[in-house]
Chain A
Amino acid sequence: AQSVSQHNHHVILSEAASLELGCNYSYGGTVNLFWYVQYPGQHLQLLLKYFSGDPLVKGIKGFEAEFIKSKFSFNLRKPSVQWSDTAEYFCAVSPGGYNKLIFGAGTRLAVHP
């Protein structure tokens, strides 16, 4: 069955620390890849997406992600986190490039000042 795995369920960082959240998926064909963020009390927002082309994707708020096809991974990174990055982050995959999304379990990030 198709699945998305996020390795870290809960991450705690201090401001200015670097962030990397892991995401692996199981699907052998073409995929579209996404990272969504959910700030406390708010709805899901798209951080970045990968459809094709350059595997290093830059998103909003200084986030980036790298698609490594051989590893079935799409890890999210940010060089220096801020307190305002405290949120839950979801990796999602649309197998076959269709719109139906399969979500990972989410990673709850807490950034301390």
Chain B
Amino acid sequence: GAVVSQHPSWVICKSGTSVKIECRSLDFQATTMFWYRQFPKQSLMLMATSNEGSKATYEQGVEKDKFLINHASLTLSTLTVTSAHPEDSSFYICSAVGLDNTGELFFGEGSRLTVL
């Protein structure tokens, strides 16, 4: 099946720094990628929809200046957490839908961010 890879799988940073998380579709081209956030023992919360070559669409309550999303190619989307604070600590998961758009999303393995 289609593979989506995230990097890094875990990262620890100091408060006030920025962290970039990459999401790559390894064996298919993804016109659309989604970024989710998962709090401990909670469900996935959709943060934003990332479309190749255009601005991301953010869900209500998600700060677009805080969570910068770039989808520069059909195989790569990045999420940058700017000026990270401890409350940004979470598990961030990306997913992608292929060009053939079968309706199935393929998920990355997630990136755990810990802000000290």
Q: Does A32 contact B (CB under 8 A)?
A: yes
Give Cα distance in the complex from A106 to B109, angstroms.
Answer: 17
Are A97 and B109 in contact, with the CB atoms below 8 A? no
Q: A105 to nearest B CB, angstroms? A: 4
Are A100 and B34 in contact, with the CB atoms below 8 A? yes
Give Cα distance in the complex from A99 to B68, angstroms.
Answer: 21
* Number of chain B interface residues as a range: 20 to 34
Which of B34, B36, B103, B108 has the most CB atoms of chain A within a 10 A radius of its CB?
A: B103
Interface residues of B in 40-90 (CB under 8 A from A): 42-46, 49
The tally of CB-CB contacts under 8 A between chains A and B is 47
In the complex, which residues of chain A have a beta carbon less than 8 angstroms from the beta carbon of B45?
103
A43's partner among B34, B46, B93 (CB-CB below 8 A) is B93
Q: Does A102 contact B (CB under 8 A)?
A: yes
Interface residues of B in 82-107 (CB under 8 A from A): 93, 95, 97, 101, 103-105, 107
In the complex, which residues of chain A have a beta carbon less than 8 angstroms from the beta carbon of B107?
36, 43-45
Mostly, the A contact residues are loop
In the complex, which residues of chain B have a beta carbon less than 8 angstroms from the beta carbon of A90?
43-44
Residue of B nearest to A106 (CB): B43
Q: Does A83 contact B (CB under 8 A)?
A: no
Known: A94-B103, A99-B101. A44 touches B46 (CB 8 A): no
Give Cα distance in the complex from A102 to B46, angstroms.
Answer: 7
Residue of B nearest to A1 (CB): B60
In the complex, which residues of chain A have a beta carbon less than 8 angstroms from the beta carbon of B34?
99-101
Give Cα distance in the complex from A104 to B44, angstroms.
Answer: 8
In the complex, which residues of chain B have a beta carbon less than 8 angstroms from the beta carbon of A42?
109
Are B32 and A99 in contact, with the CB atoms below 8 A? yes
Are A44 and B103 in contact, with the CB atoms below 8 A? no
7 intermolecular pairs with C-beta atoms under 8 Å apart: A43-B108, A43-B110, A46-B105, A51-B103, A97-B103, A102-B46, A104-B43
Q: Which 10 A-B pairs have the closest CB atoms?
A: A44-B107, A43-B109, A105-B43, A103-B44, A103-B43, A99-B97, A43-B107, A106-B43, A32-B103, A46-B104
Besides A43-B107, A104-B43, 17 new A-B residue pairs in contact (Cβ under 8 A), listed by A number: A32-B103, A36-B107, A43-B110, A44-B107, A46-B104, A94-B103, A97-B103, A99-B32, A99-B34, A100-B34, A101-B46, A101-B105, A102-B46, A103-B44, A103-B46, A106-B42, A106-B43
